[in-house]
Structure 1
Amino acid sequence: MSWLDAVKWNEQGLVAAIAQDAEDGRVLMMAWMNLEALKATLARGEAVYWSRSRGRLWHKGESSGHVQRVRDIALDCDGDTVLLQVEQRGGVACHTGRRSCFYRHLDDQAWREGEPVLKDPARTYAGKNDE
């Protein structure tokens, strides 16, 4: 049995992928992977996801330079979520210029932005597609 046989792909052939900072455990982002993306991630040692909006593979950092160097890949008990332990290059994982995509926090039934923008996305993605 191949290691890929343990992955439970959804109806679209995708599996959820969580990127977590390997140093401090902070969840940086969630994205999707298909079979090709997961294989490419293992081969490159850098995160490669499936972009549903673009309908193609997306090497994290291809336009921003914010590459995710993969230190470990884990599969959850149900086989339907992959956890990537990563080194986040440039300290920014979110296309909004923040460290994490999870920067909005529920406070008194309203979403509050709790993290600063570290890098201006207009300068990071000037003339490029957002990640």
Structure 2
Amino acid sequence: MIDFDKCGGLVPVIAQDAVSGEVLMLAYMNAEAFRHTVETGKATYFSRSRNRLWMKGESSGHEQEVEEIFVDCDGDTLLIKVRQRGGAACHTGHVSCFHQRLTEDGGWATVGHRVFDPKEVYGS
């Protein structure tokens, strides 16, 4: 059902808060990350920059408990509804990775607020 071959072994994954409906982040999974997610009930992704699996929250403790998983009609994108633990999905400390909004003058405005200080969680 999931076409991992279509995009070179990875599929984009949209993580959405299961309660509020807010889009939290976009990441990628390969088949192994998908299996691990299903087996553990915790969102596990494939890091393209580190070239390895990573369970969301492995360093911050801000895990994502998976409530539901959906696949799109083409079989090449996943939507996972999660319960975000620790209050923030973004490594910047914001609830959502999508916390920059384009303004009318073409600039960017930060929306939302920081839940944690990344220096305290990840170090310098």
Q: TM class, shorter-chain normalised?
A: over 0.9
So what's the TM-score if we normalise by structure 2? 0.95
Find the counterpart in structure 1 of residue 19 from structure 2: 23
**Deviation (angstroms), 1:24:** 1.1
Give the unaligned 5+ runs of structure 1. Answer: 1-5
Identity over aligned residues, as a percent?
52
Superposition RMSD on alpha carbons, in Å?
A: 1.0
Which secondary structure does the structure 2 equivalent of 1:94 belong to? Answer: coil
**Deviation (angstroms), 1:37:** 0.2
Partner amino acid, structure 1, of 2:40: R
Find the counterpart in structure 1 of residue 2 from structure 2: 7
Find the counterpart in structure 2 of residue 101 from structure 1: 97
So what's the TM-score if we normalise by structure 1? 0.90
Find the counterpart in structure 1 of residue 112 from structure 2: 115
CA deviations on 1:31-57 (whole Å, 9 max, x unpaired) are 000000000000000000000000100
Q: Structure 2 matches for 1:1-131, cutoff 5 A?
A: 6-9=1-4, 10-108=6-104, 109-126=106-123
CA deviations on 1:2-23 (whole Å, 9 max, x unpaired) are xxxx112234200000100000
Residues of 1 paired with 2:21 and 2:113: CA distance?
Answer: 19
Which secondary structure does the structure 2 equivalent of 1:43 belong to? Answer: helix
The 10-residue stretch of structure 1 (58-67 or 109-118) with the greater mean CA deviation from structure 2: 109-118
Residues of 2 paired with 1:25 and 1:53: CA distance?
Answer: 28
